[in-house]
Structure 1
Amino acid sequence: MRRLPAFDDLRAFLAWAEGKGDLARISQPVALAQEMTAVELAALRKNGPILRFDHATGADGARARMPVVGNLFGTKARVAAGLGLEPDGVAGFGEFLAALRSPPPVDGMRDALSRWPMLKAALATRPKILRRGVVQESSLPDLTAIPVQTPWPGDAGPLITWPVVVTRPHGADVDDVQRYNLGVYRAQVIGPDRLIMRWLAHRGGAAHHRTWVRAGVPMPVAIALGCDPAMLLSAALPLPETVSEMTFSGVLRGARTEIVKAETVPLMVPAQAEIVIEGFIHPGETAPEGPFGDHTGYYNAAEPFPVMRVSKITCRKDPLYLSTVTGRPPDEPSVIGEVFNDLALPVIRQQIPEVQDVWLPAAACSYRMAVVKIAKRYPGQARRVMMALWGMLPQFSYTKVVIVVDDDIDIRNWDDVLWALSTRMDPGRDLMVLDRTPMDYLDFASPEEGLAGKLGIDATTKIGSETTRDWGRVMALDPAHEARAADLLKGVIR
């Protein structure tokens, strides 16, 4: 199933990309404040390469102590490569993950032997504990040694944008990594040894934080910077709450995850990362985070979030700093989201069999709108699919518009979707409106923070009791005539 090697660390992935001519080194000075953002977004919008900034400069014009890597997953092909796949292998890998999640019964010895790749993947989830990791070869004096970007003009300050935040619930053993959570939460630097951890209430890190607050003791936290592609993508995937991203990364990597005990906090951390920031969050200690430019294309308001006091920063001898930019799509998260859309489809079809395809348009912030293609068989089926999708995964609770169409519609072609909307949907009959449902509080259109409506649009052909009128017949030419036309026009129309 995997066509590419296992990338044990970020450097292996960068070397592979450079060998393919997909990495560009920029030697000219580039400012960390805003200028680097412009370069990264310009490269992404042209499907450009990974960027390595060898001369990043701070506010005082001084050269950063380490290179900055950006636009890592700026193309769908590189996201697929991070999974060890060519682009055409993503759909098949999604089916494999769906089977791994809910494997069908074994039918005989031959079928059992055919499951060996699945067994191998399951074994790869067991982390390998090292006595010492390369991420502990050296150390940094404080956060000022890390070349953190200030992405947008209205941002409150430097913002760590690709952190893999490692947490565990209070009472869990340090070695019990199955109960760990890895999350990508932005972290605002507010001093040499302090940063603000912005995790939303529904995320795993916030849930762990509540257990430590109830116990009334400081919470250990580690932030891994510059992890290998499999760990980065595992931390970003919308996995079930019962699945540890730390162990799941082994499935994506095709090799066991190497971890090591942190030096000053009771946590296991990625041994192959570039940098690990260790520290504690004390009960009740918060600071106003933001404003910062967000994936919606707007600045979010400043709000209080927990403060992390840094106890140590370990790193490789010559570390790299991995960064990204979040803004109105297209941006790197929206590119990742397009690939995750394809990965999630088999899981969706496992739960809602009549679904043939789902598209989450990147322009709609990757999850706020869904277009769903179904093989319709009975009246009311489109509405059932809408409700099933909204209730299937927590992430779909933030999808505020669902459009359901028939299987003759190309859902990735807006001309097709608009045709279905304008010819198969009646606003008085085919709209389903819900009120006061969960919503991303960053959605400023919501009448109340965290609560908003949902709109389901049935743009399918109406059958049975759905209509009392004879439905129109779709016009189509004979395929033989279309083929003849194409043959006659060869060389005439270019």
Structure 2
Amino acid sequence: MYSDLKQALLDLEKAGMLKRIHQEVDPYLEMAEIARQAFDCGGPALLFEKVKGSRFPAAANIFGTQERLDFLFRDTLESTQTAVLFKSNPVEFFKKPSPARLFNAATAGIRALPKKSGSIKDFEECSLADLPQVVCWPEDGGAFITLPQVATRPSESASILQTNVGMYRIQLSGNDYAAADPTKGTDAECGLHYQIKRDIARHHEKAIEEGRPLKVSIFIGGAPAHTIAAVMPMPENLSELVFAGMLAGRRFRYFIHDGYVISSDADFCILGEVAPDLKPEGPFGDHVGYYSGKHPFPYLKVKKVLCKKDAIYPFTVVGRPPKEDTLFGKFIHQITRPMVPASIPGVHAVHAVDAAGVHPLCLALGSERFRPYASRAEREPMELLKTANALLGFNQVSLSKYLMLAAKEDNPNLDVCDVPAFFEHILERIDFKRDLHFQTSTTIDTLDYTGTSLNHGSKLVIVAAGEKRRLLRNFEADLATLKLPEGFTAVKNVMNGVIAVEGAGDIQKLSNELDHWPFKENYPWVSIVTNLNEIQNIDDFLWVTFTRSDPAQDVHGLNEQVANKHWSIDAPMIVDARIKPRHQKILNVPPQVKTRAKEILKAAGIGGIT
């Protein structure tokens, strides 16, 4: 049970899971690249003892391996899982009752209650400029806090159990944000970027309706469980502080100061009010693997910045998956696995595919029981459509762009985490005249730039149930028989039933050639890409296809028809996943920064960097 970040880092060091970087490091690009390379080679957590321009040490890659996550939460993970199972599915919980299980659930429940403790005297004052100004990517709009715990309440008099804590990136510098000016009595400012479908919006809306500024507390550091809690998809009106206490094995300590909630164990606390207007925020190199652009977002008028005497500044680096936040997702799924089936009857498993950027692609396993009397040949997706609508209204799954849904009855052993097998199952069974269901002109993830404008785009639900309709193939010899029209230069197999075609040619001309291809039914998925060299494996295919296509604009097929407003095609389905002018830039780092980072890691005795 860790009371703060320093205690956890010392424990990691004692276990040989943390290395110190003794030499001074530059927070502009260098620190982030060091952290990226350490993660990529499965390296240790890092403690930067000397950060250029800041008096505070910094830590990165804290959660960068499953081994470290298991170690950090070795004493509390089981009891937390037990409590989540009890909350989400009491019937399942009591199928295997035992004194130990009941004790674990009860203990976790007690730890879940926040505890009033500490005071403002436990902190010193500092400024935003004192924090390590970590800039992760060359075209970022400034320095960002990448592991913030952003806490709000619906009102100053609200119960602590009504506190929402989320991880919304905070821009520390750049753009039009003002620095504090004591001579003029003006406050410092920082950007507050929250995406759609975030619970802070409810509190912000209430404050606007009541004509008052929303008070926001930003915690940095503290017990590692507090950071995990900030990305936990808690049910609405159930505070993340409850989960923070359970996972930490120690009740969340807090006190109230001038209407602000302050985490007693945090290393830093930034207190501020949301301004009545908006200011440009970004760009920022995001977890999808591209920059998110500069757009108007809320920002804070900072009233106070607090720090502990021995504060350590934790940060993470996001980019094209996998990165450290990939481990966050897997760890949270490990805990919350029982919640989705309990919340949506008929759902057995859900997998937001990390390699595809998380929200762009979701695979789900449901049930098809509406017509148990139907023969196998007559079975079709019916209950699955109901389930798809429920999933697109559920928590963060609602941000899915492509949702692929299969029936467990067709293959009880189908695993949503086995992407090639899941694709094969769907493509063998899909009826392209019936099983493609679009939502056009709808809301999409804020970080997805494939749509028509920020937060606007489309979704595609792909469902399949019943007998196999086609045999999938995966042979190089088949591709030699496909005549590529002008503008298309190469084709390659990706996996069973899936090919990728390179070129800038006309899609209709490619469609015409595919229509004459004898193997068109055996390869029902065709992705058109800008450069085939980008696709060296299935993860590359997933990233390119689903982060560079908007269903309504970019999905095509043979013999396209619309009947009763339903769009249908003949196989194959063609997805235009080429780079387009509306897309954002891919994230890259200058070679000299990579070389410098490698040298620093080598000097610290961290090998295996490639």
Name the TM-score, length of structure 2 as normaliser: 0.67
- Segments of structure 2 that go 5 or more residues without pairing to the other structure are 174-178, 181-187, 373-378, 472-610
The counterpart of 1:294, out of the listed 286, 291, 314, is 286
Match in the other structure for 1:3 = none
Q: Say if 1:106 and 1:371 are closer, same or farther in 2 by CA, change over 3 A.
A: closer
Match in the other structure for 1:277 = 270
Structure 1 SS opposite 2:172: strand
CA distance in 1, matches of 2:360, 2:69: 21
Q: Which amino acid aligns with 1:139?
A: E
Is structure 2 residue 417 aligned with structure 1 residue 396? no
Structure 2 SS opposite 1:56: coil
Match in the other structure for 1:124 = 111
Q: Which amino acid aligns with 2:274?
A: I
The answer as to whether partners of 1:227 and 1:272 remain within 8 angstroms in 2 is yes
Alpha-carbon offset, residue 114 of structure 1: 5.6
Q: Say if 1:69 and 1:404 are closer, same or farther in 2 by CA, change over 3 A.
A: same
Counterpart mapping for 1:203-214 below 5 A: 203-214=198-209
Aligned CA-pair RMSD: 2.9
The answer as to whether partners of 2:83 and 2:104 remain within 8 angstroms in 1 is no
Is structure 2 residue 188 aligned with structure 1 residue 188? no
Is structure 2 residue 228 aligned with structure 1 residue 233? yes
Q: Which amino acid aligns with 1:383?
A: L
CA distance in 2, matches of 1:367, 1:80: 26
Counterpart mapping for 1:108-257 below 5 A: 115-132=102-119, 136-140=122-126, 142-170=127-155, 172-173=156-157, 176-190=159-173, 191-192=179-180, 193-257=188-252
CA distance in 2, matches of 1:46, 1:106: 39
**Which deviations, in whole Å up to 9, do the C-alpha atoms of 1:354-402 show, x marking residues without a partner?**
54433222112223322223565554243343233223x2211111222
The answer as to whether partners of 2:340 and 2:349 remain within 8 angstroms in 1 is no
The counterpart of 1:67, out of the listed 51, 54, 57, is 57
- Larger mean Cα displacement after TM superposition, 324-333 or 451-460: 451-460
Structure 1 SS opposite 2:417: coil
The answer as to whether partners of 2:163 and 2:241 remain within 8 angstroms in 1 is yes
* Matched residue count: 444
The answer as to whether partners of 2:8 and 2:224 remain within 8 angstroms in 1 is yes
Q: Say if 1:8 and 1:417 are closer, same or farther in 2 by CA, change over 3 A.
A: same
The counterpart of 1:76, out of the listed 51, 61, 66, is 66
Q: Which amino acid aligns with 1:220?
A: K
Q: Say if 1:327 and 1:300 are closer, same or farther in 2 by CA, change over 3 A.
A: same
Counterpart mapping for 1:226-375 below 5 A: 226-262=221-257, 265-282=258-275, 284-352=276-344, 354-374=346-366
The counterpart of 1:432, out of the listed 424, 437, 450, is 437
Q: Which amino acid aligns with 1:240?
A: P
CA distance in 1, matches of 2:313, 2:201: 25
The counterpart of 1:385, out of the listed 376, 383, 387, is 387
Alpha-carbon offset, residue 313 of structure 1: 1.9
CA distance in 1, matches of 2:93, 2:35: 48
CA distance in 2, matches of 1:107, 1:55: 52
Percent of aligned pairs with the same amino acid: 29
Alpha-carbon offset, residue 93 of structure 1: 4.9
- Segments of structure 1 that go 5 or more residues without pairing to the other structure are 1-5, 59-63, 473-494
CA distance in 2, matches of 1:275, 1:34: 22
- Larger mean Cα displacement after TM superposition, 6-15 or 235-244: 6-15
Q: Which amino acid aligns with 2:389?
A: M
Q: Say if 1:68 and 1:20 are closer, same or farther in 2 by CA, change over 3 A.
A: same
The answer as to whether partners of 1:275 and 1:316 remain within 8 angstroms in 2 is yes
Q: Which amino acid aligns with 1:287?
A: K
Structure 2 SS opposite 1:115: helix
CA distance in 2, matches of 1:248, 1:295: 24
The answer as to whether partners of 1:337 and 1:366 remain within 8 angstroms in 2 is no
Structure 2 SS opposite 1:269: strand
Q: Which amino acid aligns with 2:163?
A: Y
The answer as to whether partners of 1:40 and 1:325 remain within 8 angstroms in 2 is yes
Alpha-carbon offset, residue 351 of structure 1: 3.3
**Which deviations, in whole Å up to 9, do the C-alpha atoms of 1:179-231 show, x marking residues without a partner?**
11111111112324221211235322232122222332333222111121111
CA distance in 2, matches of 1:68, 1:414: 37
Alpha-carbon offset, residue 290 of structure 1: 1.2
- Larger mean Cα displacement after TM superposition, 213-222 or 94-103: 94-103
Q: Which amino acid aligns with 1:370?
A: C
CA distance in 2, matches of 1:53, 1:215: 44
Alpha-carbon offset, residue 155 of structure 1: 0.8
Q: Which amino acid aligns with 1:434?
A: Q
Alpha-carbon offset, residue 67 of structure 1: 0.8
Q: Which amino acid aligns with 1:145?
A: D
